[in-house]
Structure 1
């Protein structure tokens, strides 16, 4: 059935305006992004077919250009638009984290770090620099590595912390394997960084390891 023949209250755009974006299904949200369907297939049906083909909305969003464009209804222009939307979303989350408010919610920090690091194909070491009231000064990916390791240099972390006048840090890195369980190497480098920072009176509040569906906290494990 053509979209124009559906009851107005069930059309994605109208439904969003009346009830809010959170009430829409993945297919309805994707339909708004796609805007148009294909001959004989309305945009909601096309969205459903794409989600089934990719396996999930997350898999579609994480697809590279080649795999994205192999599907009917998608092409380079849509890929560019999607990457722009994803980058705006990340910058929005980053701005919320960096607007000077104190970090009061571990869950908020977890969501931000998961969104930032979870779908990276290579390991990245991220640092949140905080002031003495635990307000975010800045967040940076300081080191990037191969598929399973990153070279992390404590002296560079100390140097950047002093440049930003940070009083405390939150560390984070991803495991591209999807398994969030920290390794012995993770624990060793955390201790090395902690020891180096202690010389200049800077604390590590936590170190999060981001996996596919889990974020592990060193502080919750009693390792800091």
Structure 2
């Protein structure tokens, strides 16, 4: 068993290497996952700095996604965590999701492709079951509504074109962006994904509604069927 590294207090670190100061000087994108988590934790535990605790937690949970998606019981079992941090974490995640939704709603789903992709990933990434959803757009490709429609395995038997048509008419949508997640974490479109997309394109043509894209969401990644030439 390798010897443990000696704990270094954050206050003993060079100023430019301390997480908070580094964020102020260089921006949040310059920080590692460990440093960002240390800022969130604020304090460590006996014998460990916030950085040490953050590193241990990421080792324990495997990655940020697993930590952020942990349920209350699992989260609070980890040393250094508890109800207060669980509530703060869930509030932070939800604020991030709402921020992405507002960015998308105020923009154009086609001229803001990164916002669209990030929003869909924030909604569906990390789910342990498959969700099929639609982003309903007006004739200027502004967002009308995001709606989860079907749950379970995505294939021609579980996604009902007539229901998608009904929802498009209800929202008076001119166009749609389809999306679904792969709980395996691999954002690779299957033959069933491509087939249901083509069925939906044909069904929605009957009411003059276009499908602009279909995003497959994986573990922190996504694939656009349009970009892949699969539509």
**Aligned 8 A contact 1:98 1:139 in 2:** no
Structure 1 residue runs of 4 or more that deviate by more than 4 Å after TM superposition: none
Please give the per-residue CA displacement for 1:56-97, whole angstroms capped at 9, x wherever unaligned.
223222222232222210123212211111111011101111
Please give the per-residue CA displacement for 1:140-189, whole angstroms capped at 9, x wherever unaligned.
212222xx447322222112212222111110001112232323332332
**Aligned 8 A contact 2:104 2:112 in 1:** no
Q: Choose which of 38, 42, 47 in structure 2 pairs with 1:40.
A: 47
TM (normalized to structure 1)?
A: 0.88
In the alignment, the residues of structure 1 paired with residue 163 and residue 106 of structure 2 have an alpha-carbon distance, to the nearest angstrom, of 24
CA-atom RMSD in angstroms: 2.1
Q: Choose which of 197, 202, 218 in structure 2 pairs with 1:190.
A: 197
Q: Choose which of 132, 140, 161 in structure 2 pairs with 1:154.
A: 161
- Correspondence for 1:205: 212
Q: Choose which of 139, 142, 147 in structure 1 pairs with 2:146.
A: 139
Gaps of 5+ in 2: 1-7
In the comparison of the two structures, how many residue pairs are matched?
Answer: 222
More displaced 10-residue stretch of structure 1: 92-101 or 60-69: 60-69
Shift in CA distance, 211/3, structure 1 to aligned 2, threshold 3 Å: closer
In the alignment, the residues of structure 2 paired with residue 107 and residue 100 of structure 1 have an alpha-carbon distance, to the nearest angstrom, of 11
**Aligned 8 A contact 2:43 2:50 in 1:** yes
- Does 2:77 correspond to 1:70? yes
**Aligned 8 A contact 1:26 1:57 in 2:** yes
**Aligned 8 A contact 1:100 1:137 in 2:** no
- Does 2:102 correspond to 1:104? no
- Does 2:11 correspond to 1:13? no
TM (normalized to structure 2)?
A: 0.86
In the alignment, the residues of structure 2 paired with residue 212 and residue 20 of structure 1 have an alpha-carbon distance, to the nearest angstrom, of 25
Please give the per-residue CA displacement for 1:17-70, whole angstroms capped at 9, x wherever unaligned.
233222222122111111111112111111122122222223222222232222
Shift in CA distance, 80/137, structure 1 to aligned 2, threshold 3 Å: same
Please give the per-residue CA displacement for 1:172-209, whole angstroms capped at 9, x wherever unaligned.
00111223232333233222322221111001111111
